[in-house]
Amino acid sequence: MAAIAPDAIKRQSFRLVMWLFTLLTIVPFALLLLTSLKSKQDLFRGAFALPAYPHFENYVSAWVDGHFGTYFWNSIIVVVPVVTCSIVLGLLTGFAFAFLSFPFKRSIFVILTIGMMVPTEAFIIPLYYEMRYLGLLNSYAAMILPQIAMSLPFATLFMAATMQQLPKDVMEAALLDGASRGLILRRVIVPLLKPAISSLGLFLFIWTWNEFLIPLILVNDDAFRTMPLGMLFFQGRYTVNTPVLTAGAVLVIAPIIVVYLIFQRKFIEGLTAGASK
Amino acid sequence: MKQSVLDAPVRKNLIFVLPGLLLYSAFVLGPILAAIYLSFTEWNGIARPDFIGFSNYLSLLTDSNFVTALKNNALLMVFYCLLPLFIGMAFASIVRSLKGREQMAIRTLLFMPYIMPSAVLGIVWHWLYNPAFGPINQILKSVGLGAIALPWLGDFNFALPSVGMVATWYYCGFCMVIFLTGLQRLDPSIFEAARADGAGAAYTFRRITLPLLLPEIRIVLLLTIIASIKSFDLIFTMTRGGPANSTLVPNIYMYQLGFQLNRYGYAAAVAIVGAILIFTVNYIVHRFVRPADGGSR
Amino acid sequence: MLQTVRMHLSAATRRRALAATATAAMALSISCAGSASAADLPVWDDYSYEGQVAVIETLVKNFEAAHPDVDVQRTQRTFDDLALTLKLAVSAGDGPVVTKVNQGAKDMGAMAKEGLLLPLDPYIQKYGWTERQSDSILARDRWTKDGKFGTGETYGISSLGEIVGLYYNEKVLKDAGVSLPLKTFEDFLEACDKVKAAGATPIAMGTAKQHLALHLLAGISQAHIDASKRSELDDLIYGRGGSWQTPGNVESAALLQKWAEEGYYFDGFQGISGDDAVQLFIAGQAAFLTSGTWYFGDMKANPDIHFMAIPAPKGVEHPLSVGGVDPAWAITALAKDQATKDLAGSYIDYMVSPEAAVEWAKAGYLPSTKLPDDANIDMTPLLKEGVAIWKSLNANDAIGHYPDWSSPTMLKTIDDNMPLLLSGRDTPEAFIGKLQADYAAYLASK
């Protein structure tokens, strides 16, 4: 019983350290927000000095000159199909890798892994010429199709790995009930994999939202630019105006934070649900 | 490979694999093969590529910039892989003992950097490190540590660690979340049994937690190693490989060769070597970091 | 995709219209051809700063008003963005008809060699552009078929002039007891010492990004060259041979290194970007800054800041000032038929017209086309100083060169090695030697 007191102290100090690190992690974002509300003159008074009043006009000039409305919708139009299609295809191929036999399974597995590792920069030039040949340059398809293909290896491996951990008797029981494999995938496996699917969705969302090389090269019309490109565009334009630049950065990351916080609930629910089994 | 009860004749199985594979072949595999071809050519991006065999690869061997880039990348792996791995595991074991809401709050916040576009983070950190009006040096100076208020990203010796620390910051929360999930996957009764047997915390960690977490360690290593060799956005926005190539990594070098110097063939060779490297390192991870039960895919 | 289809369609209708009218006069005058069918003109430019966008949008609107049937499809790209995608797009056949393109071997030279750009010489004659801009300026857009720079056909013409000169903060200098004006290079050195002695930073510098150190080095070095002896520098930049290892270059490099060692730049300049250093200079934190006229707009914020050419040492009558023009307007190979070419020509003509020059000047930018004498423009003091210098530099043929135009890799070579020079890891001789090695390798590869 005497051991409890030092244990509690240790636990509390660990907890304190943990919160300290957590705060350290988010301080940059707080500073970003603070700076975005300053005037250019405020900057020279120190990074932590508060501005006399919040300069919301930084956001106005970021929003008005930056065409962020267009960029925002473009990002949505690209991200939604990429994430959905990648998950569906990942489920199908993942299912195949986990349970089915087909020729060259091992080689195909290796080839998929290669695709996960080769950086986009390495094949962007051939990809550009391919898109041009298909007449898809300057279209949403130019951003969507390659990004689904690029997400596929990870989606497949991730889905296959989680499916292998599923209890086998559940599927056997379903099979004995006469269910087809498509039905088992849809009705048995997908519900069991919900937590994994939502984490996969989160990863894919982040990666697709943040991708900038694909839209930079394959799309050269301002009307198709996505959010991170907007930021890039901003950086070129406002390097000498830190407050407006930071306001632009806030505009780019605010939607991600919002989506993340909404998604996060499902994400954590999924994780805890998986853990309680 | 074990036969599954779900298996069926190949013809019926292909329906599951083909859609994904076709898309993948069209937009990733095909271009990669084309890039491999390009790596054997000299190409300025406009005229026809000239086939020159292995010349590009031979030049790489003696290219001091490329060697520098490889060395830098090896060092970066400490910051991309090892530090997040250890810190993430430590965090996970602390956070595991916290209660519901608090645990969720810390987890949500620590994971935050990982969801941000790294290009934006690079711009933010470039400013945090700024010697003239960046907060880091302001704090150092205000607490009397002006002597170590260095021009972080402009210093030959500190630029790479400074960039690396941002990567550590970026991946810590991510690793923690993965390990936390892993810890929650484990059966609490194992720990109770160990405790009942009088095992100390260190012993429990080394002999029970660590081996059981091997699948997670493997995932973390795979993802962070790939990320470290793919690293581009952070370095590009913070230092562009400078000063004097002290933060140059193969990907930045490839970008410079291709898009700045228009040597697409040579750039493709750098990319291919980088890819081979990733592949090798990952093979090593696959080979040697195996779950305790010896099972593999 | 839609845009491509639209382009092809309109090209086809335009061809039909031309066949129907089929007179040479019609073919020459785009406004007539345009009256038969609406014409699209895809244009890329790099005017992405706030003030520039306002001007270019006005100019495009004016052009469209004068050519009611023309639809200018303007795509705005940043400078880097443009360099990244232009060649790819044009060689793949899906790019602009009129574009801005950076001079030098890497972009304009490579594109001209591959036939991706069309010579502008017919339009130079037709519109008399030589009346508006000096020959030394237009020479920067010339390439021969076999890749010689500075002669041959002209592939571009620019809207804006650029001078790399000396910005100085009058207040900081007066506080340090410096008397103005600075007449000679020796005066400048003495002023730096005085400012340093007074405890302020003499020279604004940041080497983490952008090219302030390069401009300082080239600016000082070329201020020591008299316009009458410029042929050596011209030969060097235009790839006709010569050497970087001149006493002037080595001495300038040594001076830069000495300043770094003795703390004449900002504390921590290695970690400050060029743009940040400019911000600090505008905030009054340094006495001098060596950079280009493109910062005029930003410098307006501090009325103490003035602009002058880098002063020359005694004995040099007409010193060269580093400078030139912004990326040039050019017509790409995507202008397939004569009507499209002529439309492109007339667009460029308007962009370099005196009328456009007045618009640029009004917004505080330095036009490369001569301003009309009767133009009554309310110019900022800085721009007045800039315009006066531009005029005299043109009159004396004293506009120098950006060293990085001399080879496709020179900019990277200088950027990579400058930190080594400033930190004392490389001697000035070794530094200049590396530039020479880069240059020699380029000459050998041609």
What angle, rounded to 10 degrees, do the helices at A68-99 and B10-24 form? 150
Model confidence band, residue A274 (pLDDT cutoffs 50, 70, 90): very low
Contact predicate A151/A207, CB 8 Å: yes
Q: Where are the domains of chain A?
A: 58-276
- Is-contact B159 B246, C-beta < 8 A? yes
- For residue C356, which amino acid is it? A
**Local confidence pLDDT in tens for the 446 residues of chain C:** 333 333 333 333 333 333 333 333 333 333 333 333 468 899 999 887 777 888 999 999 999 999 999 999 998 877 777 877 788 788 878 789 999 998 888 889 889 988 999 999 999 999 999 989 988 889 999 999 888 888 999 999 999 999 999 999 999 999 999 988 899 999 999 999 999 999 999 999 998 878 899 999 999 999 999 999 999 999 999 888 889 999 899 999 999 999 999 999 998 898 888 888 888 899 899 999 999 988 887 788 889 999 999 999 988 989 999 988 899 999 999 998 999 999 999 999 999 999 999 999 988 889 999 888 777 788 888 899 999 999 899 889 899 999 988 888 888 899 889 999 999 999 999 999 999 999 999 888 87
Range of the domain at C152: 39-160+326-352
- Position B291 scores a pLDDT of 57
Nearest 5°: the CA angle C322, C327, C332 is 145
- Report the distance separating Cα C166 and Cα B180, nearest Å: 59
On the question of pLDDT at A192 being above 80, the answer is yes
Q: Check: CB of residue B80 under 8 Å from CB of residue B171.
A: yes
| Cβ pair B198, B84 in contact under 8 A | no
**Which residues of chain A lie closer than 8 angstroms to B251, CB-CB?**
119, 121
Name the superfamily (CATH) of residues A58-276. Answer: MetI-like (1.10.3720.10)
Cβ count near C329 (within 10 Å): 25
Q: Would you call C271 an interface residue with chain B, using a CB distance cutoff of 8 Å? A: yes
Residues of C in contact with A44 (CB under 8 A): 283
Q: Which residues in A lie closer than 8 A to residue B237 (C-beta atoms)?
A: 235
Closest residue on chain C to A130 (Cα):
C92
C384 located within any domain: no
For B130, the closest of C272, C420, C425 (CB atoms) is: C272
Q: Answer whether A63 touches B (CB < 8 Å).
A: no
For residues A209 and B2, the model is more confident at A209
Tallying the residues shown for chain B, one arrives at 297
Of residues B226, B219, B212, B295, the one with CA closest to residue A164: B295
Chain C neighbours, 3+ Cβ pairs < 8 A: A, B
**Residues on chain C touching A216 (C-beta within 8 angstroms):** 81, 84-85
Question: Judging by beta carbons within 10 Å of its beta carbon (0-12, 13-18, 19+), is residue A230 exposed, middle or buried?
Answer: buried
What pLDDT, on a 0 to 100 scale, did the predictor assign at position C373? Answer: 79
CB contact under 8 A, A101 and B116: no
DSSP string, A103-131: TTHHHHHHHHHHHHHS-HHHHHHHHHHHH
Q: How many CB atoms lie within 10 A of CB C101?
A: 29
C388-443 confidence digits (pLDDT tens): 999 899 889 899 999 988 888 888 899 889 999 999 999 999 999 999 999 999 88
Query: Residue type for C75, please?
Result: T
- Which residue in B has a C-alpha nearest to residue C420's C-alpha? B244
Q: CA C339, CA C30: separation in Å to the nearest integer?
A: 6
Strand C286-292 to strand C201-203: parallel, antiparallel, or no bridges (unpaired)? parallel
The three-state secondary structure class of B204 is helix
Q: Name the average pLDDT for chain A.
A: 81
C-alpha torsion B54→B58→B63→B67, nearest 10: 100
Provide, as residue numbers in chain B, all residues whose Cβ is less than 8 Å from the Cβ of C423.
156
Please tell me whether residues C344 and C411 are part of one structural domain: no
* One domain for residues C112 and C230: no
Q: Are C312 and C319 contacting, i.e. CB atoms less than 8 angstroms apart?
A: yes
C415 touches chain B (CB under 8 A): yes
The answer to the question of residue C11 being in a domain is no
Task: Please give the sequence-ordered ranges of beta strands (E in DSSP) within C38-193, or none if there are none.
Answer: 39-45, 70-76, 98-101, 117-118, 142-143, 153-154, 161-169
What is the longest distance spanned by two Cα atoms in chain B? 74
* Global pTM value: 0.78
- Parallel, antiparallel, or unpaired: how do β-strands B41-42 and B50-51 relate? antiparallel
| Nearest one of A274, A87, A98, A83 to A181, comparing CA atoms | A98
Mean pLDDT of A209-230: 81
Q: What is the pLDDT at residue C12? A: 34
Residues of A in contact with B24 (CB under 8 A): 112, 115, 149, 152-153
> Does C121 touch chain A if contact means CB atoms closer than 8 Å?
no
CA distance C214 to C411: 9
Distance from CA of B54 to the nearest CA of A (A): 18
Q: Find the CATH number of the domain harbouring C50.
A: 3.40.190.10
Picking from A232, A233, A239, A246 by the largest number of C CB atoms within 10 A of its own CB, the best residue to mutate is A239
Q: Computed from CA positions of residues A219, A221, A224, A228, in that sequence, does the dihedral angle turn out positive or negative?
A: positive
Find the CB nearest C3 among A44, A138, A233: A138
Contact C282/B at CB under 8 A: no
Interface predicted TM-score (ipTM): 0.81
User: Is residue C388 a part of any domain in this protein?
Assistant: no
Answer yes or no: is pLDDT of A273 > 70: no
- Chain C nearest C-alpha distance from B65 (Å): 11
**Residue-level pLDDT at A234:** 66
| Distance from C-alpha of B86 to C-alpha of B179, rounded to nearest angstrom | 10
In angstroms, rounded to a whole number, what is the distance separating the alpha carbons of residues C39 and C430? 56
CA–CA separation, B188 vs B176, rounded Å?
A: 19
CB-CB neighbours of A216 under 10 Å? 19
| DSSP-based three-state secondary structure for B215 | helix
Q: Does the CB of C84 have a partner CB in chain A at under 8 Å? A: yes
Residue-level pLDDT at B107: 86
Q: Which residue of C has its CA nearest to B153?
A: C271
User: For residue C155, is it within any domain?
Assistant: yes
What's the confidence (pLDDT) of residue A60?
83
Hey, is the C-beta of A73 within 8 angstroms of any chain B C-beta? no
Q: Both C155 and C182 in a single domain?
A: no
pLDDT at C28: 35
Tell whether omega for the bond before C181 is within 30 degrees of 0, i.e. cis: yes
Model pLDDT, residue A242: 75
The answer to whether C12 touches C39, Cβ cutoff 8 Å, is no
Q: How many domains does chain C have?
A: 2
CA distances from C124 to B232, C108, C129, C345 (A): 44, 18, 5, 9
Same domain, C138 and C227: no
- Counting one residue from B and one from C, how many pairs have CB atoms under 8 Å apart? 89
Strand boundaries in chain B, DSSP class E: 41-42, 50-51
Are residues B120 and A253, on separate chains, in Cβ contact within 8 Å? yes
In a domain, C311, yes or no: yes
Nearest to A250 by CA among A40, A17, A59, A11: A59
Interface test with A, best of C3, C272, C298 (most A CBs within 10 A): C3
CA separation (Å) from B11 to A77, A101, A262, B17, B23?
35, 10, 42, 11, 19
Weakly modelled stretches of chain B, pLDDT under 70: 1-3, 290-297
CB contacts, 8 Å: A128 with chain C:
88, 92
Distance CA C294, CA C158 (A): 14
Nearest Cα of chain A lies from the Cα of B156 at a distance, in angstroms, of: 24
Tell me if C290 is assigned to some domain.
Answer: yes
Non-local CB neighbours of C289 within 8 Å, separated by 6+ positions? C166, C167, C168, C203, C204, C212, C277, C278, C281
d(CA C86, CA C329): 13
Q: What are the C-alpha distances in Å from C185 to residues B50, C312, C330? A: 51, 5, 38
pLDDT of residue A266: 61
Minimal CA–CA distance to A226: which of A146, A151, A143? A143
Q: What are the residues whose beta carbons fall under 8 Å from the beta carbon of C431, sequence distance 6 or more?
A: C253, C417, C418, C420, C421
Identify whether the C-beta of residue A138 lies closer than 8 Å to the C-beta of residue A222. no
Say how far apart CA C257 and CA C426 lie, in whole Å.
9
| 3-class SS string, B226-260 | HHHHHCCHHHHHHCCCCCCCCCCCHHHHHHHHHHH
- Is residue C374 situated within a structural domain? no
CATH topology of domain B39-288: MetI-like fold (1.10.3720)
Q: What are phi and psi of C414, to 5 degrees?
A: -65, -45
CA C56 to CA B203: how far, in whole Å?
71
Among all residues of chain B, which has the CA nearest to that of C273? Answer: B130
